[in-house]
């Protein structure tokens, strides 16, 4: 059996090194591993790594970290697609509606088939269909990847769905892509016009040596346009085709690491720590798209003081998205945050906007003292952000949606270091601080 987690070898307990004065995206060239101890093997717990960082198993060509300005441009593409999708815009590809150029930042390594073949895949809470490249995958139609390309003919547990199977008939208009030699064909279309197509299939998914998902349903992709060297993508959305919906647990959590030089984690099922350590808020419904997980932000505090923003400003809700970098707030809330933050940061000289961020300070020269910033969600769930979730390269690391009526986005910069628990069965989202 091919080892499924080479990354566990990187385990080390090192001291936190969150440098808020420089980019929280910037990382040292070496992987510092995990900042927390790894739980007992009875839990489904996988290391999760920044795609571009030294902890990533991907080749070094993948490790160039895009500029903040590029990330923000890609953020806009992604979040515009999410919002158009939520609005029921039929011109947006209904399966995912997000741009592959967008910042899918994190990967996990799993095993697929029997014997298990190691596959490093992107991790996405904003989509449902999982897929990996499968042989035959001609170079003109597939992308190069680091792992061996999955070969269905060599897996003892692989099976393609037939066109008449209930699973194939239930794929839905957006994903169903006809029949080829009586095998069920799927398509996943992305917001930038690219797609993945192939045979809808099932096989054994190995998450940890002790935890496998038999009959995991995924797309065996024989053609796609994908610029990353990952083997494919794991969809963790709330829709019927996602990994989460396919498993009995109906719950998962992840912790996005503070820098690309650290590993975070992904767990399937209920977290291993006591539920009392999470602040919990109900999931909030936006539109009728099952894929996205949303919450209701109700207020923001800066240095312990609540911003004077009417709750109605937040009433469109916010999508939790691991693939968007910066949190996007309703315009009125963003302006209030900006004003309060400037006041608390008045001891630092203001500098010109940079990288698309408009509230920047000269914080060079030693220890920067940041005011505390907390997001307050429905039922009083108060999430006090980590330093790495407040500024990036000296600039306030938030953006505006541009109005007070569009849904906001809770992005991955603000989620870093929290264990974010999605209790899909119980329709709640929990946050546990300092988890990785």
Minimum CB separation of residue 400 from ligand NAG in Å reads: 24
Minimum CB separation of residue 194 from ligand NAG in Å reads: 6
Q: How far is CA 296 from CA 76, 81, 428, in A?
A: 21, 20, 11
Minimum CB separation of residue 190 from ligand NAG in Å reads: 9
Using DSSP, state whether 276 is helix, strand or coil: helix
Q: Which is nearer to ligand NAG, 164 or 364 (CB)?
A: 364
**Parallel, antiparallel, or unpaired: how do β-strands 176-180 and 251-255 relate?**
unpaired
Q: Which is nearer to ligand NAG, 100 or 410 (CB)?
A: 100
Between vectors from CA 337 to CA 333 and to CA 343, what angle results, nearest 5°? Answer: 150
Q: Which is nearer to ligand NAG, 12 or 362 (CB)?
A: 362
Minimum CB separation of residue 21 from ligand NAG in Å reads: 11
Strand ranges inside 190-275, DSSP E: 195-208, 211-224, 232-235, 251-255, 263-268
Using DSSP, state whether 145 is helix, strand or coil: coil
Q: Which is nearer to ligand NAG, 195 or 246 (CB)?
A: 195
Catalytic residue of the set 124, 128, 386, 423: 124
Three-state DSSP string of 296-328: CEEEEEECCEECCCCHHHHCCCEEECCCCCCEE
Asked whether 192 and 77 are in contact (CB, 8 A), the reply is: yes
Q: Please give the residue ranges that form the binding site for ligand NAG (CB under 6 A).
A: 189, 194-195, 225, 351, 362, 364-365
Catalytic residue of the set 128, 321, 386, 404: 321
Q: Which is nearer to ligand NAG, 236 or 395 (CB)?
A: 395
Q: Which is nearer to ligand NAG, 164 or 362 (CB)?
A: 362
Q: Rounded to an integer, what distance in angstroms lies between the CA atom of residue 381 and that of residue 262?
A: 27
Q: Which is nearer to ligand NAG, 304 or 366 (CB)?
A: 366
The radius of gyration computed from the CA coordinates of the chain, to the nearest angstrom, equals 21
* CA neighbor of 103 nearest in space, from 324, 265, 291, 255: 324
The tokens 């800066």 sit on which residue? 302
The tokens 């991955």 sit on which residue? 412
Minimum CB separation of residue 395 from ligand NAG in Å reads: 12
Minimum CB separation of residue 140 from ligand NAG in Å reads: 10
Minimum CB separation of residue 85 from ligand NAG in Å reads: 16
Between vectors from CA 350 to CA 349 and to CA 355, what angle results, nearest 5°? Answer: 135
How are the residues of the chain apportioned to helix, strand and coil, as percentages rounded to the nearest 5? 15, 30, 50
DSSP characters over 81-122: HHHHHHTT-TTS-SS----TTS---EEEEEEETTTTEEEEEE
Q: Which is nearer to ligand NAG, 336 or 360 (CB)?
A: 360
Find the distance separating the first CA and the last CA of the chain, reported in whole Å. 29
- Based on the residue annotation, tell me whether 214 is a catalytic residue of this protein: no
- Within a 10 A sphere around the Cβ of 107, how many other Cβ atoms? 30
Minimum CB separation of residue 171 from ligand NAG in Å reads: 15
- Based on the residue annotation, tell me whether 80 is a catalytic residue of this protein: no
* CA neighbor of 386 nearest in space, from 255, 258, 237: 258
Minimum CB separation of residue 191 from ligand NAG in Å reads: 12
Asked whether 52 and 65 are in contact (CB, 8 A), the reply is: yes
Q: Which is nearer to ligand NAG, 143 or 250 (CB)?
A: 143
Asked whether 388 and 46 are in contact (CB, 8 A), the reply is: no
Catalytic residue numbers read: 124, 321
């Amino acid at each position: 059996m091919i080892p499924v987690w080479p990354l566990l070898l990187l385990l080390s307990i090192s001291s936190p090194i969150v440098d808020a004065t420089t980019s929280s995206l910037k990382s040292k060239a070496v992987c510092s591993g995990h900042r927390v101890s790894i739980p007992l093997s009875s839990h489904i717990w996988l290391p999760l790594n920044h795609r571009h960082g030294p902890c990533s198993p991907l080749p070094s060509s993948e490790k160039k970290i895009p500029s903040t300005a590029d990330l923000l441009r890609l953020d806009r593409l992604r979040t515009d697609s999410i919002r158009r999708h939520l609005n029921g815009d039929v011109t947006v590809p209904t399966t995912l509606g997000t741009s592959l150029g967008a910042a899918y930042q994190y990967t996990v390594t799993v095993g697929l088939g029997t014997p298990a073949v190691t596959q490093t895949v992107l991790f996405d809470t904003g989509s449902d269909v999982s897929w990996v490249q499968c042989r035959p995958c001609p170079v003109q139609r597939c992308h190069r990847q680091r792992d061996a390309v999955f070969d269905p003919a060599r897996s003892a547990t692989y099976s393609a769905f037939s066109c008449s199977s209930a699973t194939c008939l239930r794929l839905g208009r957006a994903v169903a892509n006809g029949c080829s030699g009586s095998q069920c064909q799927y398509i996943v279309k992305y917001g930038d016009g690219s797609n993945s197509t192939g045979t809808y299939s099932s096989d054994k998914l190995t998450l940890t040596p002790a935890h496998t998902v038999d009959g995991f349903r995924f797309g065996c992709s024989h053609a796609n346009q994908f610029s990353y060297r990952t083997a494919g993508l794991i969809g963790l959305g709330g829709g019927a085709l996602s990994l989460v919906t396919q498993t009995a647990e109906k719950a998962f959590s992840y912790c996005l690491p503070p820098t690309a030089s650290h590993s975070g984690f992904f767990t399937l099922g209920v977290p291993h720590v006591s539920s009392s350590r999470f602040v919990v808020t109900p999931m909030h419904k936006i539109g009728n798209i099952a894929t996205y997980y949303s919450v209701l932000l109700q207020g923001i505090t800066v240095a312990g003081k609540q911003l004077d923003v009417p709750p109605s400003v937040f009433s469109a809700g916010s999508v939790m998205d691991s693939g968007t970098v910066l949190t996007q707030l309703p315009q009125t809330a963003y302006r209030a945050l900006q004003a309060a933050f400037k006041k608390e940061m008045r001891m630092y000289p203001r500098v010109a906007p940079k990288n698309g961020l408009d509230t920047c300070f000269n914080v060079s020269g030693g220890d920067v003292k940041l005011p505390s910033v907390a997001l307050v969600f429905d039922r009083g769930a108060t999430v006090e952000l980590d330093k790495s979730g407040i500024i990036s390269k000296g600039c306030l690391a938030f953006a505006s949606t541009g109005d007070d009526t569009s849904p906001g986005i809770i992005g991955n910069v603000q989620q870093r270091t929290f264990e974010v628990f999605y209790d899909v069965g119980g329709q709640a989202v929990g946050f546990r601080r300092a988890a990785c």
